Structure 1
Amino acid sequence: MFAFSLRTAIVAVFAGLAAFSSADARMLRAASLRRHLVSVRDAGCYDYVLVTTRGTTEPQGPSFAFTTMVQNTLSNVPGGAQVNTEYPAAYDGMSPILGMNALKSYLDDAVQRCPNQKIVLLGYSQGSFVSSLALQSYTDTSSPVFQAIKAIVLLGNPVHQPDFAGNVDDQGGSSTAKAWGAIYSPFTPTVPEAYKDKVKDICLLGDAVCDEKNPNPQNVHGNYGQLQGVQDIGTNFLRQQLQASN
């Protein structure tokens, strides 16, 4: 989850796409999606689902960065469940692509199976980039997926956009509102403008992954899960967005 490693991995996405034969890439994606769709079909329908996409090297399952936020939301807003994006979360250049495909597959399937179910996207580190990649397919505000997505919370986002609506630090302030993500550029897919009112993009001051120009030598990127301010901001935002859509 270090900035230089993440940058290397994401840049390698494009090299990875060229290096894999199309048949190899299709086979990898198909295997990942098959595993994912089994868990999706078993999930059932809820009032809302929290879809967590974990960071680089985190084990498959929930991201530690959202533990308290998820627990508080499920406790305070009835009728919810958590779903985890199944993907490698590795330094491999194909990892974000596999994650994007798994997340898109879940979203497409979810709105067909459960058209009244609300969706929340939670992404940490590489998971933020995966979420941004997936959202590129749902910029039409009349689409079922766009309308189902009620909130997005990103932590330590490597494609953090300066001055984007929803940018806050761990105290809800603006100290990182102008921060540049480690792989942010005019050519990198970021959260589409259509979602600007649905996003909280939380970046710690000095987190080299989302605040590359102001790195803290102590590497604060792993601190999101243990900071009450981060968890409270996310919990309050999710509750507000979910209850407003009732």
Structure 2
Amino acid sequence: MALKTGTLISFVAMAAAATGGGLAGCPGPSGGSGSNPANPAGCADVEVVFARGSGELPGLGITGTPFVSSLTSDLAGKSVTSYAVNYAADLAQTSAGAGATDMSNHVVSVAAKCPNTEFVLGGYSQGASVTDIAIGIPTLLGSGTTIPASLAPRVAAVVVFGNPLALYGQHIPTASSLYGSKAQEFCAAGDPVCANGANGVAHLSYPTNGMTTQGAAFAAAKVKSS
């Protein structure tokens, strides 16, 4: 790992402090238009399950919120709901495993009730690590329950931003045989968390640098082709 864990913790703490001690998020669910008549009442065509970054307040977070908004627009005609992963997102980087368990449990629960709902998984910063663990990629930031392989076909896309996995020399598209072909990672140039850079502002740029829009377009294309 090119960036020591202590350095990562210090950077994330600095980023949270710079935004007032917590980054406000917008909690799910959110709704889109349209519905799948084959699904039971209350079940969406697509459920986005997103994990916020370290230090952010509960909800979808600064990156998840615009990502879900763009994806909902891109999937006009389909119903889209969202779930904000319920985990501590602590600055000490120790809660990713618990977050993965919540993400996995939520997917299992919704999949059982909604047989035709597809899923888009995503996360930002430590939330990307949550996603890594949930899809079965080991990291140094914890361990938790993974999504059963039998449900992998129900996951249309995986999109993460500022993923610390890159600091271990790994990336979801090549590290996961189940999800790699439907995954995309976004890392801003100079981001200390995924590019071993020194530009702290880069790690906070995903809501405004166009990458959430690009990620949503990628996910929408995967949903439409599934």
- Please report the TM-score for the alignment, with normalisation by the length of structure 1: 0.66
**8 Å contact kept, 1:132–1:191:** no
**8 Å contact kept, 2:63–2:207:** yes
Match of 1:159, SS? helix
Distance 2:79 2:122 in 1: 18
Match of 2:206 in 1: 224
Match of 1:59, SS? coil
Q: Answer yes or no: is 1:109 the counterpart of 2:91.
A: no
Match of 1:116, SS? coil
Match of 2:38 in 1: none
* 1:83-123 Cα distance to aligned partner (Å, 9 max, x none): 11010000245411211111111111121111210000111
Aligned residues: 180
**8 Å contact kept, 1:157–1:203:** yes
Shift of 1:194: 2.2
* 1:208-236 Cα distance to aligned partner (Å, 9 max, x none): 10011xx13454101101112x1231121
Match of 2:164 in 1: 158
Match of 1:178 in 2: none
* 1:59-106 Cα distance to aligned partner (Å, 9 max, x none): 000121133221122123121111110100002454112111111111
The CA RMSD over aligned residues, in Å, is: 2.5
Distance 1:102 1:218 in 2: 29
**8 Å contact kept, 1:152–1:200:** yes
* 1:3-45 Cα distance to aligned partner (Å, 9 max, x none): 8557459xxxxxxxxxxxxxxxxxxxxxxxxxxxxxxxxx941
**8 Å contact kept, 2:108–2:147:** no
Point out the structure with the larger helix share.
1
Match of 2:53 in 1: 55
Distance 1:111 1:53 in 2: 18
Distance 1:79 1:58, change over 3 A: same
Runs of 4+ in structure 1 deviating by more than 6 angstroms, as ranges, are none
Q: Percent identity?
A: 27
Q: Answer yes or no: is 1:148 the counterpart of 2:149.
A: no
Match of 2:130 in 1: 130
Distance 1:117 1:191, change over 3 A: farther
